[in-house]
Chain A
Amino acid sequence: MVHRPRLDGQTLLMVAWSVTMTVTGQLVLRHAMSGLADQPFVDVVLGAVVSPLVWTGALLYLLSTVTWLVVLSRIDLSVAYPMGSMNYVLVVLLSATLLDENVGLLRMAGLGLILVGILVVARSERRASRRLEPVP
């Protein structure tokens, strides 16, 4: 792996764009799909295919994925992973406020463990990229 510069303004903007698109897309998808609760699998799939909201959510998801791939080509995973973990925080926070979901202590505790886990994985990525750094 080539050692890349850590972060610049343009890349940071792309991260913000990608996170915003992921979070918005998921909120839109859940909002659209919750209308199809209690229906059998085939009806859920058909209902999704004809729903403009679902297509909107899927498009936002696509925009976020493409941007994220560009981000990954510009910065190390050790930097990208912690920033990407903002997705989890924002999705859970906004599900609680905008979709009136019941986020209890246990769910928050689980989320906390996940965030620590992602930071630990990112730390391992930093070590891996250091090992591959060329000797000056």
Chain B
Amino acid sequence: MIVVVLLASIFFAVLGQVSFKRGMNRVGRIELRSVLDWRSGVIPILTGFVAYGTSMVLWLYTLSRVELSYAFPFVSLSYVGIMLAARLGLGEPVDRHRVLGSALIVAGVVLVSLTR
């Protein structure tokens, strides 16, 4: 059951990362004199903060329940999550190496998940 919380924590970390990227894509290159233009990216950036906060709360709850050497390897799933988000959300191409690497990461996390 705690694995679900753990996976949700990683999911929200990835969502936060992608939201920040979407927000900053809208804002564009930051110039000090154009701080007002930050308004254009405010919703994705706020989403990013909320997602990161949610991820942190779930992470802390996880750490109250399981060993760090059990939980931390799950963080590597963010490589897979960001690849999926880039493919599905941004239409970026995904080559064979990235698919193979992701499969290895998932297999490794499955092994770790069996060790509780």
Q: When chains A and B are docked, how far (Å) is the Cα of A106 from the Cα of B109?
A: 11
Q: When chains A and B are docked, how far (Å) is the Cα of A44 from the Cα of B68?
A: 16
When the two chains form the complex, which single residue of A44, A45, A110, A127 contacts B73, counting CB atoms closer than 8 Å? A110
Quick one: closest B residue to A30, CB to CB? B68
Flag if A116 contacts B104 (CB, 8 Å).
yes
User: Which residues of A are found within 8 Å of B97, using beta-carbon distances?
Assistant: 120-121, 123-124, 127
Query: Known contacts A33-B63, A33-B64: does B101 contact A124 (CB below 8 Å)?
Result: yes
Q: Which residues of A contact B (CB under 8 A)?
A: 26-27, 29-30, 33-34, 36-37, 39, 41, 44-45, 48, 54, 58, 81, 87-88, 91-92, 95-96, 99, 101-104, 106-107, 109-124, 127-128
Q: When chains A and B are docked, how far (Å) is the Cα of A109 from the Cα of B61?
A: 26
* Binary A-proximity of B86-116 (CB < 8 A = 1, otherwise 0): 0000000001111011111111111111110
Minimal beta-carbon separation of B19 from chain A (angstroms): 15
Flag if B72 contacts A91 (CB, 8 Å).
yes
Flag if A26 contacts B61 (CB, 8 Å).
no
Q: Is the interface of B mostly helix, strand, loop or mixed?
A: helix
B24-64: which have CB < 8 Å to A?
Answer: 56-57, 59-61, 63-64
Flag if B67 contacts A117 (CB, 8 Å).
no
Flag if A110 contacts B109 (CB, 8 Å).
yes
How many interface residues does chain B have, given as a range? Answer: 35 or more
Q: When chains A and B are docked, how far (Å) is the Cα of A96 from the Cα of B69?
A: 7
Query: Known contacts A88-B76, A92-B69: does B64 contact A39 (CB below 8 Å)?
Result: yes
Minimal beta-carbon separation of B16 from chain A (angstroms): 11
Name which of A41, A107, A122 has the most chain B CB atoms within 10 A of its CB: A107
User: Which residues of A are found within 8 Å of B101, using beta-carbon distances?
Assistant: 117-124
Name which of A39, A45, A92, A113 has the most chain B CB atoms within 10 A of its CB: A113
Quick one: closest B residue to A120, CB to CB? B101
User: Which residues of B are found within 8 Å of A120, using beta-carbon distances?
Assistant: 97-98, 100-101, 104
User: Which residues of A are found within 8 Å of B63, using beta-carbon distances?
Assistant: 29-30, 33-34
Q: When chains A and B are docked, how far (Å) is the Cα of A104 from the Cα of B69?
A: 10
Flag if B67 contacts A95 (CB, 8 Å).
yes
Flag if A91 contacts B102 (CB, 8 Å).
no
Please name the 3 residue pairs, one residue from A and one from B, whose CB atoms are nearest each other, closest first.
A113-B108, A117-B104, A110-B111
Query: Known contacts A107-B111, A111-B108, A124-B98: does B69 contact A91 (CB below 8 Å)?
Result: yes
Quick one: closest A residue to B56, CB to CB? A58
